[in-house]
Structure 1
Amino acid sequence: MRNKLITSLLTSLLLSLSLPMLAKAEIAPDAVSVAPLLNGETLPDVTLRDIDGNKVDLKALVSQKPSILFFYRGGWCPYCNAQMGQLKAIEPRLLEMGFQLIGISPDSPEKLKASIRDNKLDYTLLSDANLDAAQAFGLAFFTDEKTSARYLSRMPLESLVRNNQDGHKRLVLPVPAVYMLDKQGLVHFQYVNPNFKVRPAPELILTAAGLLPKN
C-alpha cells in the first residue's frame, strides 16, 4: 500500500513538472533543443494554406494517400532550394511507390507560387505562415540575436518574429525535417537535423519509403 502511494505521488509530481515544460517548449530556445514528433506518434491537427490562400486540413490531405512531408525554412534559403530540387528528381519514383510529396514552410502563398515557378515543381507546397505546423510538430525554435538581426536585415521576415522566453524579439524558424506517414497519420519515419545545412540524401528517402506500408 505504501509503495503504491509513493508511486502515485511520484507520478503526479512528474506530470506536474512535465506539463509546464511542454507548454514552454512550443517554441524551443534554439535549434538543438527542439522536441520533434517521433516515430509512432500521430499527425497533429493543423490547418495550412495552399498557393491560392485556401485552407487545407493536413489530416484530411494525408488521409488520401501515404505522405512524405518536408519542412523547410523558406524559398529564400539556398539549402532548401537544393533540397526541393533533389526531391523533384526522385518524385516520380515516390509517386510509383504510392506516396504524395508535400512541402511546408513559413512562406506566404505568393512566395510558394514563386518557388513552384522557379524550381518547376509539381508537388504540393503549403504555407505555415503562422508557424502553427512548425510548433505542432515540435520543430519551431528561436534564432539567436545575431542570426535574427542578420536575416531580418536581408529579408522581410518580420511576420516570423516572436518574443522569446526572456521577452526579446527573435526570429522563429522551423528546423528542417522529413516525415513519412501512412493514411492514418501515423509517423513511420522522421529525419530532423538542427544543422540546416544537412538534409537527408535522396537515396535515404527512397530507401525508407520503400520499407513503409502503403495503407
Structure 2
Amino acid sequence: MVFLQPEIQHIIQTIKLTGDFFLLNGTYKKRNSMFKKIVWSLLLFTGVLLNAQSTGINFQKIDLEAAKKIAAKENKLIFIDLYTTWCGPCKLMAKNTFTDPQIGEMFNKNFVNLAIDAEKEGVKLAKEFKVVNYPSFLFLDPQGKLVQYDFGYYNPEQFLEVGASVVRKKMSQPSKTIEQVKGKMIGDKIENFNAKDHLGNTFSLSKENKKLVVVFIRGQWCPFCNKYIETLQNLAPELKSKNARLVIISPEKPEFIEKTINKTKTEYTVLYDEGYKIAEAFDVLYTPDSETLNFYNSKLKDDFAKSRSDNSGRLPVSATFILNGDKEITWRHFDPDYKNRASIEDILKNLE
C-alpha cells in the first residue's frame, strides 16, 4: 500500500503538459527551463518517495491456496492481515506499520503476505478462526494450520516483535532425525489429504473406496527406489482381484516424477507430496544428518537440490502402509534403512 501526502497528490494532479504549455491551477503558462527543472524535481522526489514506501510489506494478490504452495516451496510461513473497510486501527496499520522498511524487510523474508477483507473474500476465513476483532493477524504454516494469532493496533516496533516471535516458534520446531521418526502405527487413522500426480490429476484420500497400498519413495535419483517400483509391477493383477490400489508418494516435483515413470515404466499413480504433508501425516519425514546432506548435494546436484518443494533436504523413510476403507492402517513395513523394503509376499498376505 502506498500513501502519498495530499500536497504531493495535488501537485501531480494539477500539472498537465500540453504542447509548449502547461496547466497549473487552472491557468495555462508557457514552459521554460525553470518549469522543466521543477517538474523533474517533483518526479524525482515522487519516485524516491514511492521507492521508500515500497519497502514495506509486499501483500500478494493471491488466494490462500496459492499462498500455501509458495510458502511450502520457499519454506516460509503465511501472514494474513484480516481487515474491514470501516476499521480505524486497520487503516492505521496499513498507513503507519505495514509501510515501515524494517517491517517490510522482515515480513517479506519470512512470510507470504496476504491482506484480506474479512467481509468479502475473507468471510469463510473469519468464521474458521472465530475472528471477532479487527484488525486480526493470522500466522499460518504452509498447510494452513494456525501458528499464532494477534489482533489490534501495533506500531512498527511492536509489530516487529510480533513477527519475530512467530519466526522463533518456527525455528524452535526442528525436523526429526531418522532415529526420531517412528511411522504411524497399525490402528491409526490417516486424515484426508489431496495431492496431484505428474499430469495434474488430483488424488483425494477421502474419495477412495478401495484398500490402499501406500508406498513412499525418496526420488528418481535413488536406484533402490526405482528397482523397487519395477518389482511392484508384479502386484498389479493381484491388487485388482483384492479390490486394492497402490499409490506411490514422492517428495519430488512433477517434472522429476516424470523421470521416475520413464525409468521404471510404472503404471501406478505417483503423487507429488508438495510440502511433505503426506509424509508428515504418516510420520515418515526426517532430515538427514549434515554429512549425508552434503554428500547428496555434491553428488546429485540439481536432482536433489531442485527436485523437492523446499531446500530443507528432508526425505521420507521408504515405508509401506496398507489402509482399509476407513483409512485405518491395517499393516505397515517401516525400516529406516532405505535398502530394506516391503516384500510382495508380505503385501499380498496382508491384503487378505
Shift of 1:131: 0.9
Shift of 1:39: 0.7
Given that 1:40 and 1:186 are in contact with CA atoms closer than 8 Å, whether structure 2 keeps it comes out as yes
1:182 aligns with 2:327: no
Question: Within 2, Cα distance between the matches of 1:59 and 1:147?
Answer: 36
Question: Within 2, Cα distance between the matches of 1:77 and 1:129?
Answer: 19
Q: Encode CA deviations 1:140-173: one digit per residue, 9 max, x unaligned.
A: 10101111011112232334432xxxxxxxx210
Q: Encode CA deviations 1:73-92: one digit per residue, 9 max, x unaligned.
A: 01110111111011111221
Question: Within 2, Cα distance between the matches of 1:81 and 1:209?
Answer: 23
Q: Which residue is equivalent to 1:36?
A: 183
Question: Within 2, Cα distance between the matches of 1:193 and 1:129?
Answer: 23
3-state DSSP of counterpart to 1:49: strand
Given that 1:44 and 1:137 are in contact with CA atoms closer than 8 Å, whether structure 2 keeps it comes out as no
Q: Which of 98, 102, 122 is 2:267 aligned to?
A: 122
Q: Which residue is equivalent to 1:64?
A: 209
Shift of 1:64: 2.6
3-state DSSP of counterpart to 2:240: helix
Given that 1:71 and 1:103 are in contact with CA atoms closer than 8 Å, whether structure 2 keeps it comes out as yes
Q: Which residue is equivalent to 2:75?
A: none
Measured at CA, do residues 155 and 206 of structure 1 come closer, stay the same or move farther in structure 2, by a change above 3 Å? Answer: farther
Map 1:151-190 onto structure 2 (within 5 A): 151-153=296-298, 154-156=300-302, 157-158=304-305, 159=308, 160-162=310-312, 171-190=313-332
Question: Within 1, Cα distance between the matches of 2:243 and 2:301?
Answer: 37
Map 1:26-105 onto structure 2 (within 5 A): 27-28=175-176, 30-60=177-207, 63-105=208-250
Q: Which residue is equivalent to 1:7?
A: none
Aligned-residue CA RMSD in angstroms? 2.0
Given that 1:43 and 1:59 are in contact with CA atoms closer than 8 Å, whether structure 2 keeps it comes out as no
Normalising by structure 1, report the TM-score.
Answer: 0.76
Measured at CA, do residues 155 and 58 of structure 1 come closer, stay the same or move farther in structure 2, by a change above 3 Å? Answer: farther
Question: Within 1, Cα distance between the matches of 2:347 and 2:316?
Answer: 20
Shift of 1:203: 1.2
Please list every run of 5 or more consecutive structure 1 residues that lacks an aligned counterpart in the other structure: 1-19, 163-170, 211-215
Name the stretch that deviates more: 150-159 or 35-44: 150-159
Shift of 1:59: 2.7
Q: Which residue is equivalent to 1:198?
A: 340
Shift of 1:184: 1.6
Question: Within 2, Cα distance between the matches of 1:140 and 1:161?
Answer: 14
Given that 2:224 and 2:339 are in contact with CA atoms closer than 8 Å, whether structure 1 keeps it comes out as yes
Report sequence identity in percent: 27
1:132 aligns with 2:277: yes
Normalising by structure 2, report the TM-score.
Answer: 0.47
Given that 2:232 and 2:344 are in contact with CA atoms closer than 8 Å, whether structure 1 keeps it comes out as yes
Shift of 1:70: 0.4
> Larger Rg: 1 or 2?
2
Shift of 1:54: 4.0
Moved over 6 A (4+): none
Measured at CA, do residues 188 and 54 of structure 1 come closer, stay the same or move farther in structure 2, by a change above 3 Å? Answer: same
Question: Within 1, Cα distance between the matches of 2:252 and 2:279?
Answer: 12
Question: What amino acid does structure 2 have at the position aligned with 1:42?
Answer: K
Q: Which residue is equivalent to 2:294?
A: 149
Question: Within 2, Cα distance between the matches of 1:39 and 1:155?
Answer: 37
Question: Within 2, Cα distance between the matches of 1:65 and 1:56?
Answer: 13
